Homo-oligomer: A and B are copies of this chain.
């Protein structure tokens, strides 16, 4: 009888992440690890914030996109790339493609934040809109790839994308070492799980005693639920959340295969907690966060992740937010 077990997906190694770091050196920003003594005093612990809004294109997504695009064979580059994204991956792919001299087509939901669409177009990409609640972006992406020969750059479920995001983890480990700190935990904003998976692989090698937790919006805690169940769980994608960057209805196949082994657990946060974290980042770190980019910080500030006596790194994963939403976050909590 033939073995019908599906093959395990190919997952990146620490060596793949180190190779990605070499490709990204001098291209991506080595983002700072920020700290506020006054906030630490309030929390009774030490909170370090990895400031990916300062990354090229305003989120960590540039890392994975550039690494993936760097690996497209010469003969295929002329056909360009295609990607689907709520906005941050869109900008990351558009910028990486432009820097690599490759044409990019980006499939974006019609209700994506205006700043994300505008910047994607400013990077020279062609933008195709779709209806988040009626159409399947993966299908549109595959069709365009089949028609044009363009390489599909997936937002998370790709070993090269995961390896690129993992460079964030290498930097955190090096920065913590320079501070003489071994963090108890690292909190990662989680959509499809690519950033989480990359960071988890990097930290398993560099900071094996540090636990990785994901922070997800209420109703979109697909990775948290999947970790608890031991298998990939899908959530209802019709639910609304202000965290537009984190609305993946299910973990990726590759990312979950990594995260199921390396991630300690999941925390959920509400829209109001995301807004409050944006206001705290405004006051204490002078950093602009988008709601989804504030999820990890929200988990630390809300008490969902106990901070007393602990050292915790929260990833601030992105800062592409429309002014009206940001002003609302400041008004709600100011």
Contact = CB atoms under 8 A, between A and B. Distances in A.
Interface of A: 29, 31-32, 34, 37-38, 41, 51, 53-54, 56, 58, 95, 115, 119, 122-123, 279, 282-283, 285-289, 319, 322-324, 326-327, 330-331, 334
A175 B157 CA distance: 36
B32 A282 contact: no
Given A32-B32, A95-B37, A286 B334 contact: no
B285 A54 contact: yes
A286 B54 contact: yes
12 contacts: A34-B54, A53-B286, A54-B287, A283-B323, A286-B288, A287-B287, A288-B288, A322-B334, A323-B330, A323-B331, A326-B327, A327-B330
A95 B38 CA distance: 10
Nearest to A290: B286
Given A282-B288, A323-B330, 12 more contacts: A38-B122, A41-B122, A54-B286, A115-B283, A279-B323, A286-B287, A286-B288, A286-B319, A287-B288, A323-B334, A326-B330, A327-B330
Nearest to A53: B286
| Copies in the assembly, this chain | 2
Contacts of A287: 54, 286-288
**By DSSP majority rule, is chain A's interface helix, strand, loop, or mixed?**
helix
A58 B296 CA distance: 22
A136 to B, nearest CB: 31
Contacts of A119: 38
A231 to B, nearest CB: 37
A31 B34 CA distance: 10
B53 A282 contact: no
Nearest to A324: B334
A308 B87 CA distance: 30
A245 to B, nearest CB: 14
A331 B325 CA distance: 11
A288 to B, nearest CB: 4
A323 B123 CA distance: 31
Nearest to A285: B54
A331 to B, nearest CB: 6
A237 to B, nearest CB: 28
A287 B95 CA distance: 20
A292 B53 CA distance: 23
A324 B334 CA distance: 8
Contacts of A31: 32
A327 to B, nearest CB: 4
Contact of A58 (B41, B286, B323): B286
Contacts of A286: 53-54, 58, 287-289, 319
Contacts of A37: 56, 95
A285 B53 CA distance: 8
A32 B53 CA distance: 13
Contacts of A122: 38, 41
A129 B94 CA distance: 52
Nearest to A119: B38
